[in-house]
Amino acid sequence: MVFSLVRDYLCNQQGSRILDGEWRNSSINSLPHVTECVQHLDLSWTPTLFLILFCPITLYDLYVSDNARTSCHSPITYRIFLCIILVIDLTGSFFYNVHSYYLVGEDSALQYLIGDVAQYIGLCIALTLLIACRNRGIVTSGVLFLYWLLLVICGFPEFRYLLDSQSTGGGFRFFLICIYYPTVCLELLLSCFADSPSRSFNGTKECPELSTSFLNQITFNWFTKLAVKGNSKPLERDDLWDLNERDRSSTLIPKFNENFIPEVRRRYTEIVVV
């Protein structure tokens, strides 16, 4: 939640409420709306703050990556294109709300403006990371996947609110949200698939873990094929994958010795002194 003073200034009487005030008069079978204050302050800033907080993880992956650039037909190419559409859509929404607030005098447009700024910052960061991931051959990004997931979840209340109240939201604003939300959902769908580097990985039996999507990795779906084979017949050595470079002893032992040997020497020195 944003600070209470900011909420009281921007939201007037809605500052302390989460659900719309008319929900008590609605049907028991209807789902109540959240207030516009929550839609444009809390829910708009949550995905952006998440991305700002966790983007260093993606930046580190970009720094250490030595993969080839992803193929031009990879899903990330289409994600970049969709992200550009989202930036254009938010630009139109921003100027429309500026016009509504300063020229028309619509007080609620200020809340839309704050939400647009938050989403615009997040999408610009996401677009930059997408382009960098494409150039550095990052096949998947858990941070970006979770960012799109948060955008879908946090954007649904506003999308539903404008669907139920088209006349109060304005025709142009409703038109923009009808472009924005389905595009975000499509971004999330495309993020479920891994990208393909233009140069294949080394090894004829490379473990597929690192070349699968984030969703595939956290559900261990990449391991399903081997598990099914092991259930149907005893596994042989030829059925197993090669170890990833990061999991091989040639990579792990030097890193272990960097910490182990100095500690052994320090302990040995302490014993000799005693």
- Residue-wise pLDDT tens digits, 39-49: 778 888 899 99
Lowest mean pLDDT among 4-18, 117-131, 216-230: 4-18
**Confidence band, pLDDT 50/70/90 cuts, at residue 2:** very low
Q: What is the reported pLDDT for 72?
A: 81
How many residues does this entry show for the chain? 274
**Domain co-membership, 52 together with 164:** yes
Question: Which position has the higher pLDDT, 262 or 30?
Answer: 262
Question: Which position has the higher pLDDT, 241 or 271?
Answer: 241
Q: What is the reported pLDDT for 88?
A: 95
d(CA 271, CA 264): 11
Is a pLDDT exceeding 60 seen at residue 24? no
Q: What is the reported pLDDT for 263?
A: 85
* Domain encompassing residue 242: 229-273
pTM, two decimals, is 0.83
**Domain co-membership, 47 together with 165:** yes
Is a pLDDT exceeding 60 seen at residue 27? no
**Confidence band, pLDDT 50/70/90 cuts, at residue 65:** confident
**Domain co-membership, 253 together with 172:** no
| Interval 93-120 mean pLDDT | 83
DSSP-derived 3-state class of residue 19 = strand
**Domain co-membership, 114 together with 234:** no
Contact 129, 142 (CB under 8 A): no
**Confidence band, pLDDT 50/70/90 cuts, at residue 29:** low
d(CA 184, CA 186): 5
Question: Considering its fold, how many domains does the chain have in total?
Answer: 2
Query: Can you name the residues that pair with 70 across neighbouring β-strands?
Result: 197
Structure tokens at 58: 């993606």
Question: Which position has the higher pLDDT, 37 or 185?
Answer: 185
**Domain co-membership, 177 together with 233:** no
Q: Hey, how many other C-beta atoms are within 10 angstroms of the C-beta on 184?
A: 26
| Helix, strand, coil percent values for the chain (each to nearest 5) | 75, 0, 25
**Domain co-membership, 54 together with 154:** yes
Name the residue with tokens 């708009």.
Answer: 44
